[in-house]
Amino acid sequence: MTGSRLLRGVLVPLAALLIWQGLSARHVFNPQVLPSPLAVAIRWLAYLKPLEAFDPAQMSRARWLVSGELPQDALGSLYRVLVGFLLGTGLALPLGLAMGYSRLCHALLDPLLQILRPIPPIAYIPLAILWFGLGNPPAFFLISLGAFFPVLVNTIAGVQSVDAIYLRVARNLGAGRFTTFRRVILPAAAPYILAGARIGMGTAFIVVIVSEMIAVNNGLGYRILEAREYMWSDKIIAGMLTIGLLGLGIDTLMGALTRRMLRWHRGLE
């Protein structure tokens, strides 16, 4: 079953690559503008190549594997995504739980958050640079903004969607407010919270590329911008594909975690 699912998953990408390669071989596209998949693969391998020769006496194999330009850029981007995502989620989760549970808290904070929510994180770039300078801090700030609102909105929706009958049953059984929140509301809201976390992680990958193009001098976003200056279309596409593969890997892990944590949920039976 797993093998057939994997096969179905690669059919469309493989067909797209074959069509792309065939059109490139017939010179339908300008190779300077849209290089062939083979050219992109060659550039990707060169991008992956270690910056220094492997010498067992001077460098361990583990260090050699991440010494290439691509692994270093990928690790830098992934580090910023994870830190920014954890910051944004760490702020959004308790705030969302409070706003979903307390009508007063929701009434006080919702107008301000609804004003801020439509503002894209990219719009904060000038302020982020003024407040934090250059380097990782502005990137962390922008990425945390990108992850904050999807987690917040989904958490509020999850808490507010808890069926009232569950709350009445808990009260009839003598459960206090804290026990009801911990044993009833939080588990019932978990599917929404985890869905918001997956959306927030996807947004974090979008924002990290923009922030690296502006505020830092390494990472996949910076390398794509550098390749644009030299018209290296193959390297641009190689960087884009690397971002996609990283995002796919993280989303796959989060999906597996979601299925494991929500095995009790009837929608996953």
Q: Are 129 and 213 in contact (CB under 8 A)?
A: no
Checking if the pLDDT of 54 tops 50, the result is no
pLDDT value, residue 266: 57
Rounded to two decimals, the pTM is 0.81
What digits encode the pLDDT tens for the residues 131-144? 998 888 999 999 99
* Phi/psi at 27 (5° precision): 60, 35
* Phi/psi at 220 (5° precision): -65, -40
* CATH class of the region 35-51+63-268: mainly alpha
DSSP symbol at 28: -
pLDDT value, residue 256: 86
DSSP symbol at 50: B
Which region among 88-92, 157-161, 181-185 has the lowest average model confidence (pLDDT)? 181-185
